[in-house]
Amino acid sequence: MNSTHLIPALGLGIAILAAGCDGSSDPPARTTTSAQSPARTTQVDLPAGRIAFRRYFDDAQTHGAVFTADPDGTGEKQITDPPAGHVDDHPDWSPDGKRIAFERCSENKPCSVFTVAADGGRPHKVTAHCEPNPICDLASPAWMPDGRLLVTLAQGRERPSPTTGETWIQHSSVELIDPDTGTQRTIVERSDWTGDAGTPAVSPDGRTIVYNRWNSWRSKPADRLAIYAVDRDGSNHRRLTPWKLGAGDHPGFSPDGTILFRSYANDETRESDYWTVRPNGRAQIGERLGCSQMHVSRMLRRAVDRRKLSIAA
């Protein structure tokens, strides 16, 4: 059960090569659009390693598991075996490549986070301290360089918005959990149905955490979405993208620290583009990728310059 308003992942990484070409009609200033450079196809040479991804087993998308494969598509292997009616999603490789963290969700139950050996086996549930009850929902795991996990924690009671009818959770936070010892620390917290903090990602050096901040009717601007950054100790909290851009869809870091995200992630009436932004907060938007496959491929070339690559597609 997705008890909070967390953004559905359409997948970054390789999946962005199929992104639509039509962008927003009101992009922020200081951008480079695809219209300024002719589009061309650039070959992306994937490195040796394994790719983790989610695959659905049914057309209704109610049952899905985590798989791995070589970058050329060979050597595919199913890693998790969820019960019927459950979907394992958002896999992320551990820094040493020995484990994969993922979330397991179903229609009528809270989501949970698990880790599993890279070659499969029995998954281990990641536990978190939840207060208050009744809901305790863990999702969107992301490994820190030191082997700890960032997760989204939703807890408490749900309440519908009086303006839109959308359901919001009482408390939403980004938590840092050691999956081996169970120690837990709150990085970002939102309370009293003010909105969600979710889908965290960490910079390659482990110093900066970015996440999606989605306001409820009790925050200003209401029902808006943006990407925020915070230092790993919870300090230096800042907004990176303008509210009107609706930035989200599981932002991800490239090895050089650039953040890739999708615009209008929660608005199906708008055409989306892919954008990049730096985490220092000085320049809000660095480059609009739009439909330029050349720009997307260049970002991918940087993004896959690792031994392991996680993709939700």
β strands within the chain, DSSP E: 50-56, 64-69, 77-78, 86-93, 99-106, 112-117, 124-126, 135-143, 149-160, 167-177, 184-190, 195-202, 208-215, 225-231, 238-239, 248-253, 259-262, 274-277, 287-288, 308-310
Share of the chain above pLDDT 70, in %: 74
**Positions of the chain with pLDDT lower than 50, given as ranges:** 2-47, 283-286, 291-309, 311-313
Helix (H) or strand (E) holding 294: helix 293-303
SS (H, E, C) 136-164: EEEEEEEECCCCCEEEEEEEEEEEECCCC
Q: What is the pLDDT of residue 229?
A: 95
Residue 237 sits at the vertex; the CA angle it makes with 236 and 241, to the nearest 5 degrees, is 125
Q: Strands 274-277, 287-288: parallel, antiparallel or unpaired by DSSP? A: antiparallel
Q: What is the pLDDT of residue 310?
A: 53
**Domain spanning 13-310, CATH class:** mainly beta
pTM, to two decimals? 0.77
What are the boundaries of each domain within the chain? 13-310
Q: At 291, phi and psi to the nearest 5?
A: -100, 10
